[in-house]
Amino acid sequence: MQRLSVPAIWDGMTGMVLGDLSRLFFVAAPFTLLPSVAVQLFVPPLPANLSEISGQQFAWMVLLPFLIGNLAQLVVTALLLRPDITPRDAFARAVPLWLPYLAVLLLASVPVSLGVLALIVPGLFLYVRLAFLGSAVIVAEGGAPLDVLKRSWALSEGGQGALMLFAIVAIFGVIGVLMLTSLAGAAVDVVARLAGLEGIGRFAVALAGGIASTIVAIAGAAASVFCWRQLAR
């Protein structure tokens, strides 16, 4: 088992992503960018009062991105674990693991949610112990959902402190990426509206959000793979 640190995880994650970014983005985009753009353009925005969300809005804006986004996570994970395989091979590896991986996330979400409701920090702790390594574990080692959770718990034992710190840094990183892409999209939207091209402005905002979600998905898979490699040695 190798010692983990936040700088080491960051360097490992960014190195893996930048080393194969174009292929990873091409593979992930149909499952992250395109649905995000479609939802932003064609689905009514969420109401201010969450209790007023319709079943259709929940399905399109929450459930669908969750389902297909996690398939993208598995495909990207497969490519990161085996850079020598083709995207088609990565899909073939990921698809049979899709439902088991969703089960892993749903099972982990119960204690994680309770931890978040308690004091947030316990929820973050349970997330890094149960779910953070999940995609790498299930693609690299396989196993039933409960076995994946047990393996994730065992692997993260020696690096839980670094994983916790990295998760906190990652939260702020995700917020930063979303803010930057939102500002970029909003700037283009303003210019387009001034030029009388409102449709292009709306598309720019939706595209910026889709790019952000794709980057976050790829980075999350890379962090999981890097930490799994270090901890499984």
Count of all residues that appear for the chain in the document:
233
What global pTM score does this model have? 0.86
Q: What is the pLDDT of residue 48?
A: 65
Q: Predicted confidence band at 141 (pLDDT cuts at 50, 70, 90)?
A: very high
Give the lowest-confidence range in 33-47, 64-78, 93-107, 113-127: 33-47
Mean pLDDT of 94-119: 90
Other CB atoms within 10 Å distance of the CB of residue 85 = 14
| Distance (Å, whole) CA 61 – CA 53 | 10
Please give the share of the chain, as a percent, with pLDDT higher than 70: 90
User: Which amino acid is residue 163, in one-letter code?
Assistant: L
Contact 52, 3 (CB under 8 A): no
User: Which amino acid is residue 202, in one-letter code?
Assistant: R
Which pLDDT tens digit goes with each residue over 166-184? 999 998 888 888 788 778 7
| Distance (Å, whole) CA 195 – CA 192 | 5
pLDDT at 57 exceeding the cut of 60: yes
